Chains A and B, each alone.
Chain A
Amino acid sequence: MTRNLYVIDLGRCTGCRTCAIACRDRAHGGDGFAWLRVETTEAGQYPHVRVTHRVVHCFHCSQAPCIDACPAEALVRDAWGLVKVIGEHCVRCGACVEACPFGAITLADQGPATKCDGCADELAQGWEPTCVRACPMRALQYVEEQAWALPPRRVMDEAFDGHAAGPAVRYLKRPEG
């Protein structure tokens, strides 16, 4: 089965967090935790500054360490290839939180472990996931892995690429000035 990739263009992400707000709005009414976060790093010294905003969420890894780590079979892969939490099975042990290389799983004060559900309900309607549709900069794309090729003149960012867990993400490096 072919899977889809989250292709994230670091040359387009301006850190506006529209995706984070849209995700928060859709997923959990705005409370307490985030399925999607934007990591901002500032590097260099004035005037040679470099700021990078990096969207991070569950990348529905092909070799998902969270599935292996869970003692209660609360993490499964669904028909879309997405990694899904079955809330009723969760025993709140926190093993998945520990196992996730990307810090994408949250265990709040109450309730089961929670994370990005891949917008399975929206995919079922033929839509792109909420975060992808929300981006005013079109910095986020959701594309078939086999159909995707690196755009001309662009370079892949090293982060996560080739990670043993097989995350379904490719970051495009910001073009060098």
Chain B
Amino acid sequence: MSPIERIPFTCTLDCGSRCELVAVVEDGRLVRVDTPPREDSPERPRLIPCVRGRAHRALVGARERVGTPLKRNGPRGSGAFTPISWGEALDEIVGRLQNLAARKAHSALLHITGAGSISGRGFSGASASHRFFSFWGPVTVTVGNMSNHCAGIAAQWMLGGQVPASDRATLLDARLILLWGNNPAETHMAPNTAHFIAGARDRGARVILIDPRYTDSAILADEWVPIRPGTDAALVAAMAYVMETEGLVDRAFLETHTLGYGPYREYLLGVRDGQPKAPQWAEAISGVPAETIVRLGREYATVKPACLLPGWGPQRTLYGEQAARAFITLACMSGNVGLRGGGVASVGMRGGPSLPGLPRGPWGPARGLSAVSWAAEVLANRVRPPCEMAYIVASNVINRTPNTLANIAALDRIGYVVVHDPYLTPTALYADLVLPIRTDLERTDLVTSWGHDQHLFYSAQAIAPPDEAQTDYWIFGQLAERLGFGRAYTQGRDEAAWVEVLLAQTRWDRETLKREGLLRWEEQPRVELAEFRADPQRHPLDTLSGRIELANPQAALYGLPIVAEYVPCVPPDGAHYPLQLITPHSEVRSNSCLAANPWLQEVEPQEIWISRVDAEARGISPGDRVEVISPSGTVRIRAKVTERIMPGVVCLPQGAWFRSGADGVDEGGCANVLTSLQTTPTGGIATHTAWVDVRRCAL
């Protein structure tokens, strides 16, 4: 009988959590994925993997897995590739890189990463590739934050920088939780968030979900308040109006801890525009009934502690800055800032423990293109000198950034495309060269946790990769060797040797870490801004005044109001595109990763959510094939006709893979076919501001 090994590992996806996984291996074969049986308590909660992590086994051998280097031998996107050897593939890349270097044209290489494997100390994904190019030369990169750009701007202006939210265990002390555009049961943004919300509810807290959709997080809520996408700042203003006019504002906190409430108060009362921001005003905008708004305002102002917990959806709208600023403003008015079980309603995340990384080379990037709208810059010929080569690592970029068809055109314009990926993603299908990468189960790495969690994970190689798949680190080591800086890049070490070197520089106990798979850094859950609340003079914020600044003159530079006013998003062509589209994260994917997992496809088939009212008006029955049309493109997909979405709003979860039908229409349900390259005033992603129509397919 062969011994069965239980080998700890963790995912390195761009999901928001890190969890405890175990690979059960027999004869070198993965027979099962499990999670360790540990004690579970509020103080030391287990890090239980979600469905995405548990379904790993079906992913390892997925149909779309790449086993050897592939060279394109047909039109882009056709899927026609010839398998080639590693030697041929590496020589081809080296030839391209040497050609650029000889012309001092390093910046003609556009290096794209993001949304794939994002952790690691320099072995996998972006960490390996950025390090490589730091030795090679000054390339062009994509810059900016696709996740929470506008929340970051709000935090910068109002709080003086990213202030991480309180650790999730402190949610147990909340008596009221407003989940605002936040869906932790499906996104798992920060481990155990939904678990602790349920725990608070068990202790008698009330939970309210404010969202255009009755998500699975609504199970944890006492009340669902549907809201039109992009109108959050209007609802906040009306709640604030109720608080202001009924004397429910925490004036003492505003006076000692904030600056700039005056202009916001004038906005609420309509001093300048003659329009009081009363509940009736917000009802017309947001679709939330005035009496509900009155109740929400009173409840949030009077129940203590109350935690306004926004998600990232509201700030991924055309004026997302205003939503993010409004949440912080409202939290200040309620006086919940710095309270255990309360919060400042910022979406900052606390990172994991710090660990040394691998040494980097001398070069920084030559220039940066917007991670959101890089394709627009390429297609408008605004990139000078132009990019001639795209080097894409752990990033299904055509799928994950807005306007997929524009992204495809931009890659075509660039001309030569290399992709590192374990799977033949839609982006890989448009590449000239695809290099097969190992999954998390097939390599060794040190992974730090995130999402307010403080663990270090040792993710051991559990199984051999299929065919010739390699790590990003190995590939770049080989390229570096051929380009003459191999020694600098690898120092003669493989991943396992580097892990020893890195751990030797820390106080972590290596043996325990390797045996258990994880170690914990901190014991006590942290309450954000508690010190600032207790003594703002001794613990000032990093703003000019040291206080929370509710009025931000710098906003005017971007054409935004100086306070958190609601700015309407006007549909470009309401007659043709009457429905608002939201494209939230799905519980079965991490961005577009895992879309190839057949088990997960069964758990949640890709469908467009449409309300019964809107479906009936269009003659659409449940399960009908429909076309979703926007100014950017068309998607053909099945309809989920449901009571769980606000009429006037449709929802296509992002991350399903683009698949071009014979007529060029996407049949994979790729949400970004429908989104636009338009950005927020400060350059943020605005994918939740999209207008579409839906019609029944003829066939």
Chain A residues packing against B (C-beta within 8 Å): 11-18, 20-22, 24-26, 30, 42, 44-47, 49, 51-53, 126-128, 130, 133-138, 151, 153, 174-175, 177
Contact = CB atoms under 8 A, between A and B. Distances in A.
Contacts, number: 118
A18 B32 contact: no
B40 to A, nearest CB: 7
A9 B188 CA distance: 19
Given A12-B219, A20-B603, A49-B224, 4 more contacts: A15-B219, A21-B51, A138-B40, A177-B222
Contact of B219 (A18, A53, A128): A53
Which of A20, A128, A135 has the most chain B CB atoms inside 10 A of its CB?
A: A20
Contact of B35 (A47, A133, A137): A133
A172 to B, nearest CB: 10
B49 A18 contact: yes
B194 A51 contact: no
A18 B51 contact: yes
Nearest to A17: B603
Contact of B32 (A13, A17, A26, A49): A26
Contacts of A153: 202, 204
B58 A17 contact: no
Nearest to B55: A21
Contact of A49 (B186, B198, B587, B644): B644
Given A17-B603, A25-B57, A51-B644, A46 B216 contact: no
A46 B647 contact: yes
Contacts of B194: 14, 136-137
Contacts of A44: 643
B49 A130 contact: no
B221 A177 contact: yes
Contact of B51 (A16, A47, A49, A52): A16
Contact of B599 (A13, A30, A47, A130): A30
B37 A133 contact: yes
Contacts of A12: 198, 219-220
B195 interface: yes
Contacts of B198: 11-12, 137-138
A126 B226 CA distance: 45
B50 interface: yes
A14 B226 contact: no
B291 to A, nearest CB: 13
Given A14-B219, A177-B222, A21 B54 contact: yes
A172 B269 CA distance: 47
Given A24-B599, A49-B224, A53-B219, A136 B49 contact: yes
Interface in B164-200: 185-186, 188, 192, 194-195, 198
Interface string B40-57: 100000001111001101
Given A18-B54, A26-B34, A42-B644, A136 B195 contact: yes
Say what secondary structure dominates the interface of chain A: loop
B378 to A, nearest CB: 39
B599 A51 contact: no
A20 B588 CA distance: 13
A10 B279 CA distance: 34
Interface residues of B, number: 48
Interface string B433-453: 000000000000000000000
B34 A16 contact: no
Contact of A175 (B49, B57, B222, B643): B222
Interface in B192-229: 192, 194-195, 198, 201-202, 204, 214, 216-224, 226
B436 to A, nearest CB: 23
Which of A20, A46, A53, A126 has the most chain B CB atoms inside 10 A of its CB?
A: A46
Contacts of A49: 214, 218, 224, 643-644
B611 interface: yes
A47 B603 CA distance: 25
Nearest to A154: B202
A135 B221 contact: no
A127 B218 CA distance: 31
A16 B185 contact: yes
A149 to B, nearest CB: 15
Contact of A16 (B50, B224, B646): B50
A11 B54 contact: no
Nearest to A27: B32
Given A17-B603, A46-B646, A174 B214 contact: no
B612 interface: yes
A98 to B, nearest CB: 27
B212 to A, nearest CB: 11
Contacts of A25: 32-33, 54-55, 57
Nearest to A126: B37
A157 to B, nearest CB: 14
Interface string B611-639: 11100000000000000000000000000
A22 B34 CA distance: 7
14 contacts: A15-B216, A16-B216, A18-B51, A20-B603, A21-B600, A24-B599, A46-B226, A49-B644, A51-B216, A136-B50, A138-B40, A175-B201, A175-B222, A177-B222
A15 to B, nearest CB: 5
Contacts of A53: 216, 219
Which of A17, A21, A134 has the most chain B CB atoms inside 10 A of its CB?
A: A21
Contacts of B645: 46
Contacts of B644: 42, 46, 49, 51
B58 A30 contact: yes
B642 interface: yes
Interface in B2-58: 32-35, 37, 40, 48-51, 54-55, 57-58
A29 to B, nearest CB: 8
Of all A-B residue pairs in the complex, the 6 with the closest CB atoms, nearest first, are A177-B222, A14-B185, A14-B216, A18-B51, A127-B37, A136-B48
A130 B642 CA distance: 32
B186 A16 contact: yes
B547 to A, nearest CB: 37
Contact of A46 (B57, B217, B223, B612): B612
A24 B40 CA distance: 24
A18 B604 CA distance: 12
A77 B33 CA distance: 28
Nearest to B214: A49
